[in-house]
Structure 1
Amino acid sequence: MSLIQTVRRVTGGLAIVGGLFSQGAVTEAQMPMTRDSGHRVVFHLNSAEEQIQKGLLNNITNLYEALGPDFLRVEVVAHGPGLSLLAKKGSRFAGEVARLKQQYGVELTACSNTMKAQGLTREDLLEQVDRTVPAIVRLMELQEEGWSYIKP
């Protein structure tokens, strides 16, 4: 198939879908959901309490079991005392964090301002951490993009 034929087929398909929406034949809720169009949840962690951190990890597992990894993206943003979840030294749940990252692709953000205040470097964090940026900036960006915000 030539490039022109492919473009015509794709744009024709888009026109059909657009026409179905305008006629009310297909609603947005009926469109197939994907990981990118599905649910996006950011968990805001600022507690070192073992019960809260364990609850957070359980909530993430429960969400993935209920919705499936094809329809859910989760990011944990940790700052202040919550950064202990992502630090190599003292993390009580490093194995569980690694499992969630490996099994579901959970994204992990460590607050760069907290790291600076605590004298931590990137090497002091678990290898699963995706980024180090100011937590408040990251939380704001994700919420502006429509992510659901949960604070355990």
Structure 2
Amino acid sequence: MKTLILLLIASFGLFADDVMPKDGKKYHVIFEMSNGEQARLEGVIRNINNLKIALGAENVVVDIVLHGGAIDSYTKEKSTLAEKWDQLAKSGVELLACSNSMKMRKISKESLLPGVRMVDSAVAELVRKQQAGWQYLRNAD
């Protein structure tokens, strides 16, 4: 009986990938975050990782744009999540920083973490992406 249970558990593991949706579609998603609270930023990072697992990393293109109070998380001086942002960037996630928020907070381009790219406006970037068919997800504050 014990052998049968172990065999069933092992065989389920072999077919677990078949349960995941593999529809071959490419998904384009942009996340937006303006709240700089640590728990919320960690939550959006988890959401991105979970999305990539559920849809298959090869099937999803993800951008995240930070603005407002969240922009500090992209800076060398203030980020407590630099390692996690780096891991996301290395996995193909595009890290975007709003230049309007940077100007307002007097943040220089040089103080951004490696891998972060500036956009002219977070709001404009969201509109452009949605116009191009991207899905927009806001981590509610």
Q: Distance in 2 between matches of 1:144 and 1:32?
A: 22
Which secondary structure does the structure 2 equivalent of 1:123 belong to?
Answer: helix
Q: Distance in 2 between matches of 1:130 and 1:68?
A: 24
**Are the equivalent residues in 2 in contact too, given 1:109–1:133 (CA < 8 A)?**
no
Aligned to 2:67: 79
Aligned to 1:16: none
**What's the offset of the Cα at 1:127?**
0.9
Q: Distance in 1 between matches of 2:28 and 2:83?
A: 23
Partner residue of 1:68 out of 56, 72, 81: 56
RMSD across aligned positions (CA): 1.6
Partner residue of 1:55 out of 29, 37, 43: 43
One-letter amino acid of the structure 1 residue matched with residue 134 of structure 2: W
1:99 matches 2:69: no
**What's the offset of the Cα at 1:98?**
0.3
**What's the offset of the Cα at 1:32?**
4.2
Partner residue of 1:143 out of 130, 133, 140: 130
Which runs of no fewer than 5 residues in structure 2 stay unpaired?
1-22
With structure 1 as the length reference, what TM-score do the two structures score?
A: 0.73
**Are the equivalent residues in 2 in contact too, given 1:89–1:124 (CA < 8 A)?**
yes
**Are the equivalent residues in 1 in contact too, given 2:28–2:61 (CA < 8 A)?**
yes
**What's the offset of the Cα at 1:92?**
1.1
Partner residue of 2:30 out of 11, 26, 42: 42
Which secondary structure does the structure 1 equivalent of 2:119 belong to?
Answer: strand
Q: Distance in 1 between matches of 2:117 and 2:59?
A: 20
Percent same amino acid among aligned pairs? 33
Q: Distance in 1 between matches of 2:57 and 2:88?
A: 11
Q: Distance in 1 between matches of 2:99 and 2:107?
A: 9
Instruction: Give the greater-gyration-radius structure (CA).
Output: 1
